[in-house]
């Protein structure tokens, strides 16, 4: 007899299988689960509306011979509102892709679930896209930094990684050492060539990155960022995340196009 188990999770992706089935990737409290939902593409399937990307679910699973099988699904939240906004879809898809991409690197599978659920919930609430209320790109940046922290890559700008000088006494611009996830002060930066592992960063953006890493998502609405700051932070994070997590994935290329559009719109 097949063993049954329960999971709580978020549907990250789904693919057609055969005539009427689907394969689902659900990021759950047990890590990423890949399972078949039989008959889920039939018009009157009991799974309709419950197993789409972004759905937060409780599911009863059965262990099959090669693939696990979804037997029952309780929908906790479909996060439908975010699907009406292209920016939110782009950012939400990037979150799901990131989780899918990095889930196998988790030492303790399932740790990112509370973060993913909280981030989708915020994305699903009305976004203003202005400096008041949450900005999807600020939310995504915070999400990425918190995911990186779960995986052991937490930026810290408190002291220069080379000489130990405190950030509070460093004047002028600094550099972000991606590999060591820390700051290189202006004096030490003179001997360090720029390249794939070191990028320029303003101190203001370093403080933003620290806030996004450390503050709960619910407190981020109070951060007020200029468009130029958002662009500088996004650029630094892309480099940081690519270095540690190899983020060359489809949703991020889509997001990059969206960002180009957003950048043009601001001019």
262 is written with which tokens? 């957003």
Which of 90, 120, 160, 206 touches Zn ion by CB under 5 A? Answer: 160
**CB 89 within 8 Å of CB 250:** no
**Window contacting Zn ion (CB under 5 A); options: 15-23, 86-94, 160-168, 232-240:** 160-168
Q: Would you tell me how many other CB atoms lie within 10 Å of the CB of residue 186? A: 16
Among 28-36, 43-51, 108-116, 162-170, which window interacts with Zn ion (CB under 5 A)? 162-170
CA dist., res. 59 & res. 7, Å (int): 5
Alpha helices, DSSP H only, in the chain?
86-102, 113-124, 136-150, 186-189, 203-214, 227-245, 250-266
Length of the chain: 267
Is residue 188 a contact point for Zn ion (CB under 5 A)?
Answer: yes
Q: Which of 28, 97, 162, 251 binds Zn ion (CB under 5 A)?
A: 162
Q: With contacts defined by CB under 5 A, name the span among 127-135, 161-169, 224-232, 242-250 that binds Zn ion.
A: 161-169
Q: C-beta of 169: minimal distance to Zn ion in Å?
A: 11
Residues 166-185 that bind Zn ion (CB under 5 A): 185
Shortest distance in whole angstroms from residue 126 CB to Zn ion: 44
DSSP assignment of 130-175 equals SSSS--HHHHHHHHHHHHHHHTT---EEEEETTT--BGGG--S-EE
Q: How far is the CB of 163 from Zn ion (least distance, A)?
A: 3
Q: Under the criterion CB under 5 A, does residue 206 sit at the interface with Zn ion?
A: no
198 touches Zn ion by CB under 5 A:
no
Query: What's the min distance (Å) between Cβ of 186 and Zn ion?
Result: 8
Number of residues that bind Zn ion (CB under 5 A): 6
Contact partners, residue 233, CB within 8 Å, separation at least 6: 141, 205, 208, 209, 212, 225
From 30-38, 67-75, 153-161, 172-180, span contacting Zn ion (CB under 5 A): 153-161
- Residues 2, 86, 163, 218: which binds Zn ion (CB under 5 A)? 163
User: Residue 177: CB partners within 8 Å, gap ≥ 6?
Assistant: 161, 183, 184, 192, 197, 198
Would you tell me which residues interact with Zn ion (CB under 5 A)?
160, 162-163, 165, 185, 188
């Amino acid at each position: 007899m097949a063993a049954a188990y329960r999971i709580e999770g978020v549907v990250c992706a789904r693919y057609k299988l055969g005539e009427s089935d689907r394969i689902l990737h659900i990021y759950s409290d047990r890590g990423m689960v890949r399972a078949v939902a039989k008959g889920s593409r039939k018009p009157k399937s009991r799974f309709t509306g419950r197993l789409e990307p972004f759905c937060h679910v409780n599911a009863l699973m059965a262990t099959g011979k090669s693939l696990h099988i979804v037997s029952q699904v309780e929908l906790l939240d479909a996060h439908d509102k975010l699907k009406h906004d292209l920016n939110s879809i782009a950012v939400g898809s990037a979150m799901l892709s990131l989780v899918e991409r990095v889930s196998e690197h988790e030492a303790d599978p399932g740790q990112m679930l509370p973060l993913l659920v909280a981030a989708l919930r915020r994305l699903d609430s009305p976004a203003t896209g202005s400096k008041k209320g949450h900005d999807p790109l600020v939310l995504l940046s915070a999400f990425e930094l918190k995911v990186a922290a779960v995986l052991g890559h937490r930026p810290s700008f408190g002291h220069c990684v080379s000489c130990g000088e405190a950030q509070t006494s460093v004047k002028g611009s600094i550099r972000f050492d991606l590999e060591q996830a820390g700051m290189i002060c202006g004096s030490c930066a003179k001997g360090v060539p720029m390249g794939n592992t070191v990028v320029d960063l303003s101190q203001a953006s370093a403080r933003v990155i620290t806030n996004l890493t450390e503050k709960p998502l619910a407190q981020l609405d109070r951060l007020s960022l200029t468009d130029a700051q958002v662009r500088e932070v996004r650029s630094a994070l892309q480099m940081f995340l690519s270095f540690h997590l190899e983020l060359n994935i489809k949703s991020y290329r889509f997001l990059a196009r969206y960002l180009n559009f957003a950048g043009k719109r601001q001019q």
